[in-house]
A and B are shown apart, each in its own frame.
Chain A
Amino acid sequence: MSAGASNPEFVNARVRSRRATLFADEDYRKLIRMGPSGIARFMEEREYEDEINELGARFSGVDLIEYALNRNLAKHFDDLLDWSEGRLYDLIARYLRKFDVWNVKTVIRGIYTDTPAEEIRTDLIRAGELDDALLDRLVDAGEIEDVIELLNRTIFYEPLSAAFEVYEESGTLVPLENALDRTFYERLLADLGRPQEGPEAMYVEFLQAEIDFRNARNALRLARSGADLDPSAFYIEGGTLFTESELNRLVNDRDELVTHITEDRTYGDRLSTALDQLREADSLIQFEHALDAALLEYSDRLSSIYPVSVSAVLSYILAKEREVENIRAIARGREVGLSEAEIEDELVVL
């Protein structure tokens, strides 16, 4: 954690200029009509020049675009952590630890499947709190147990150590991956309390929505799969949509679960259309899409109400993530032959 006083004014001044470089709706409309090489060229002319040039010799096509997007995202988020101090650093790092989770998972999966270290390194998104040196040591560790030992000064050490025993018994990565995700989500709201107003109230509201949506996704996926799994193992504390006992009860009855979400005062109206679609079709994809759109709405509000606060920084983080996801979706969509209409349907921003 960074020492010193919180510096939201300093960070927000820089974030505003970064925000100005984000792609606009019109840019996405242009990109949809381009092929992968056109998209790469368009990116090169904009914010992604350095990354495209650095990676151009190693990758081509959509892989180049995807890796350039990840590297650019990592650069910007790393800057945020470098600039911020004190309380602001803590609040930003909480959210960016999702990339630490991603990286540790990538390393563990790579070791589990004997993937060469260089390939694992390529898939890392160095946007979290874990520094490059530690990530490199993790990649070179060779054994999952050694990876856990190397994380001994992080929040992931204890949960991973506990999950490692289950992993050894079951032989699957599920306990380790769930331990990482659970640690991330549970630490999101730790020590924040329930502020009623101000930027932190909005920040907390957003993170609660993130947790609620994650619980809703997991509950619906469990209900759909029919697998004999303990729903409590996938419940994340901190949200307002479900209590643990409610989730346990509702997982066995999908209709009741959907009704529960529909009747929720906070999210019911916002998700009603997606929930109606969910009732009609078996697929959860449109529902997840609606959840993403709802989170984007939150992020818009975050930036406008308290422009010089952590919520504005978080709003930028979400907008940048959305940009990366949208460009990747367009490029991959074009690569795999999705129509313009299909890609447009899938983009949250359009």
Chain B
Amino acid sequence: MATDVKPTRKELMAIEDRIELSERGHGTLEQKRDGLIMEFMDILDRAQDVRGELTSDYEEAQRTINMARAMEGDVAVRGAAAALQEHPEITTESKNIMGVVVPQIESSRVSKSLDQRGYGLMGTSARIDEAAEAYEDLLESIILAAEVETAMKKMLEEIETTKRRVNALEFKLLPDLYESEEYIEQKLEEQEREEIFRMKKIKDKKEAEEAEAAAEETDPFVDADVQESVAGGD
């Protein structure tokens, strides 16, 4: 609150410094927010594409596994799946987008060739291959979606935080500082006016005293008459 501040010149200078810093920060944060929004829109487009691919990959994977389960039987499909013990590996790194740390997920051993799937080629069918392939594609899509959607979520959080900061500067901190600055300026001006008035009064009094003293020195009778007239007046 403006009334909480001390109306001193030192405080005014400190507030002016804070205003300058806040205005500069406000401009920078606005630029950051706009930049983040632009990056977010790019990621959003990508996320929508990835989500679309994920949905179609999921439907395809379900279709192929359903067909494999129907035509080969659950036991055969489960058996083929059991032949694979090696799981895909996922490593996460991070990259920086405008100060936002987002994950970068690298996957390995997701897509496998026929000999890497564990089951023998001679005793299985193309349905099993297609189901395995479709699920490998689905897994790739899930990993990509996880990367893009996490980045999107983090960007969104950062945009929200930046927006709150911009709004706090714009609608709270800067107006308060302006108010405080104005308050101090008014107070200082008032103090200055009072000081001038006081000085003026002192000067007038001093001048009057000086004038009186000068008069006494030049005519002592006038002074006695004045004393008498003052006494008669009482």
Chain A residues in the interface with B (C-beta under 8 A):
62-63, 66, 70, 101-102, 105-106, 109-110, 112-113, 115, 123, 171-174, 176-178, 180-182, 185, 214, 217-218, 220-222, 224-229, 234, 236, 283-285, 287-288, 325, 328-329, 332-333, 335-338, 343, 346
Contacts and interface: CB of A to CB of B under 8 A. Distances in A.
A325 B82 contact: no
A332 B74 contact: yes
B212 interface: no
Contacts of B122: 177-178, 181-182, 185, 214, 218, 234, 236
A66 B74 contact: yes
A222 B79 contact: no
Contacts of B69: 332, 335-336
Contact of B118 (A173, A228, A333): A173
Interface residues of B, number: 30
Contact of A123 (B78, B84, B126): B78
A288 B127 contact: yes
A338 B65 CA distance: 12
17 contacts: A66-B75, A112-B82, A123-B78, A173-B118, A173-B120, A177-B83, A177-B119, A221-B126, A222-B121, A225-B129, A226-B113, A229-B115, A284-B126, A325-B71, A329-B71, A336-B66, A338-B70
B67 interface: yes
Interface in B114-137: 114-116, 118-123, 125-127, 129-130
Nearest to A348: B71
Contact of B123 (A171, A177, A228, A329): A177
Among A177, A214, A220, A227, max chain B CB count under 10 A is at: A177
B93 interface: no
A105 B120 contact: yes
A63 B74 contact: yes
Contacts of A180: 120, 123
A283 B81 CA distance: 21
Given A112-B82, A123-B78, A221-B114, 20 more contacts: A101-B123, A106-B75, A112-B85, A172-B83, A173-B118, A174-B121, A178-B121, A178-B122, A181-B120, A182-B122, A185-B122, A221-B121, A225-B129, A234-B121, A283-B130, A284-B130, A285-B130, A288-B127, A328-B73, A346-B67
Interface in B192-228: none
Contact of B83 (A109, A185, A234): A109
B205 to A, nearest CB: 106
Given A173-B118, A173-B119, A336-B66, A112 B126 contact: no
Contacts of B127: 285, 288
B4 interface: no
A261 to B, nearest CB: 15
